[in-house]
C-alpha cells in the first residue's frame, strides 16, 4: 500500500501517517490528509468525511460486476468501493487508501488517477476490525474536495469513470 501511495504522488511521510490511520479503530468517514505533510485537514477527527451520494448507472454496474467476476471477485463491497473510489478520484484527490473494517472481509485498495483501483487481499487477518479510509489531497484544494465528497451527487456511468 505504501509503494502504491508513493507511486500515486503521496509523500512517504504522508503515506506512513495514512497507513497508521487505517491500522486503528475505524471512524465513520474518510480522514482527509495533506498529501505532502500528512497533516489531518478535515475538521471532525472523530468522524471524518462521509463520502455519500454516489451510485452506479445500472448498465455500468452490470459491466463492472462481470469484469470483477472474471477475476473471481464476487462481492457487493467491491462494487460499492469502486463507485466510491471513482467519486474520490473525480474529486481532485491525489490518492485514496482503504482497508475494510469488517472483521470478516479482508480486502483493501489503493486508488488514484495514476494507478487506477488496485485491489489487495488479504490486507489483514480474519477477526481484525481495524480499518478505514484515507483521502490524500493538495492542501489548497482540501475544502473543495471535502464539499465534493460530502455533497455532490455522482453517477458512475462507465467502469472506471464518473459522470456527474
Ligand atoms: C474490494 O475491492 O473488495 C473492496 C475493499 C474495501 C471494502 C471497504 C468496505 O466496504 O468495508
Ligand atoms: Mg465498513
pLDDT digits (tens, 9 = 90+) for 54-91: 999 999 999 999 989 988 999 999 999 999 999 999 99
Ligand located closest to 120 CA:
1
Report CA(157)–ligand 2 centroid distance (Å). Answer: 24
Whole-number Cα distances in Å, 154 to 8, 104, 118, 131, 157: 23, 29, 21, 25, 9
Burial of 114 (0-12, 13-18, 19+ CB in 10 A): exposed
pLDDT of residue 159: 80
Residue 98 CA to ligand 2 center (angstroms) comes to: 10
CA 119–ligand 1 middle distance (angstroms): 9
Q: Is the pLDDT of residue 164 over 50?
A: no
* 134-152 per-position pLDDT tens digit: 999 999 999 999 999 999 9
- Closest residue by Cα to atom 11, ligand 1, is 100
Q: What percent of the chain has pLDDT over 70?
A: 97
* Residue that has been written with the C-alpha cell 484527490 in this structure: 93
Instruction: Report whether residue 107 contacts ligand 1, using a CB cutoff of 6 Å.
Output: yes
Q: Give the three cell numbers for residue 6.
A: 508513493
pLDDT at 6: 98
131 CA closest ligand 1 atom index? 11
Q: Which atom of ligand 1 is nearest to the CA of 73?
A: 3
Query: In Å, what is the CA distance from 125 to each residue of 20, 71, 102?
Result: 16, 22, 11
Residue ID of nearest Cα to ligand 1 atom 7: 100
Q: What is the mean pLDDT of residues 127-138?
A: 97
Task: Supply the mean pLDDT for the chain.
Answer: 94
pLDDT at 118: 94
Taking the centre of ligand 2 as the mean of its atom positions, its distance from the CA of residue 22, in whole angstroms, is 12
Separation of 112 CA from ligand 1 center, angstroms? 16
Pull the grid cell for residue 60.
455500468
pLDDT at 153 over 90: yes
Amino acid at each position: 500500500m505504501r509503494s502504491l501511495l508513493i507511486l500515486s504522488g503521496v509523500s512517504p511521510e504522508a503515506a506512513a501517517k495514512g497507513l497508521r490511520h487505517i491500522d486503528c479503530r475505524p471512524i465513520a468517514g474518510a480522514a482527509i490528509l495533506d498529501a505532502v505533510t500528512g497533516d489531518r485537514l478535515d475538521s471532525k477527527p472523530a468522524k471524518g468525511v462521509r463520502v455519500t451520494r454516489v451510485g452506479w448507472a445500472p448498465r455500468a454496474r452490470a459491466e463492472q460486476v462481470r469484469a470483477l467476476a472474471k477475476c473471481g471477485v464476487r462481492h457487493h463491497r467491491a462494487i460499492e468501493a469502486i463507485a466510491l473510489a471513482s467519486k474520490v478520484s473525480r474529486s481532485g484527490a491525489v490518492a485514496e487508501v482503504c482497508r475494510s473494517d469488517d472483521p470478516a472481509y479482508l480486502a483493501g485498495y489503493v486508488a488514484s488517477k495514476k494507478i487506477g483501483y488496485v485491489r489487495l487481499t488479504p490486507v489483514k487477518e480474519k477477526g481484525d476490525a481495524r480499518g478505514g479510509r484515507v483521502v490524500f489531497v493538495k492542501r489548497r484544494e482540501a475544502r473543495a474536495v471535502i464539499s465534493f465528497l460530502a455533497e455532490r451527487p455522482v453517477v458512475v456511468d462507465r467502469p472506471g469513470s464518473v459522470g456527474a
